[in-house]
């Protein structure tokens, strides 16, 4: 996954498709999270490429990829266990036996990566 701040080819392709197909831009959404959801979604998630730590800060969920030099970023909540870290990207948390065990990453609707909860 491209984490150096530049646009990936898939992001550019998604932007072009959105423009050519005249798809409307999605309105920003940030639904409230319950304390249980914050607890469920928090933890360390690992893929073959990196580890991302998801944590609570001031009642909001934040994420910090291991490649990030900053303090992380706030994660707006769309509902349905899904977050949009940036335009055209979706991260969805998956439950197994009542606990979050994975999250999956999609860019432009295409599957990009899976992160297993390790802690």
pLDDT single digits (tens) 53-95:
999 998 889 999 888 888 888 889 999 999 988 777 889 999 9
Query: Is the domain defined by 9-117 classed in CATH 2.60.120.10?
Result: no
DSSP assignments along 14-59, one per residue:
HHHHHHHTTPPPPPP------HHHHHHH-EEEE-SS-EEEEEEETT
Model confidence, pTM: 0.78
Give the residue extent of every domain in the chain.
Answer: 9-117
């Amino acid at each position: 996954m491209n984490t150096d701040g530049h646009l990936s080819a898939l992001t550019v392709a998604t932007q072009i498709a959105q423009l050519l197909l005249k798809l409307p831009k999605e309105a920003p959404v940030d639904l409230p999270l319950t304390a249980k959801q914050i607890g469920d979604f928090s933890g360390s998630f690992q893929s073959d490429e990196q580890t991302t730590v998801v944590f609570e800060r001031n009642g909001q969920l934040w994420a910090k990829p291991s490649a990030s030099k900053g303090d992380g970023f706030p994660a707006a909540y769309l509902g349905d266990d899904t977050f949009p870290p940036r335009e055209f990207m979706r991260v969805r948390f998956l439950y197994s036996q009542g606990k979050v065990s994975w999250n999956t990453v999609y860019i432009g609707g295409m599957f990009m990566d899976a992160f297993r909860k390790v802690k």
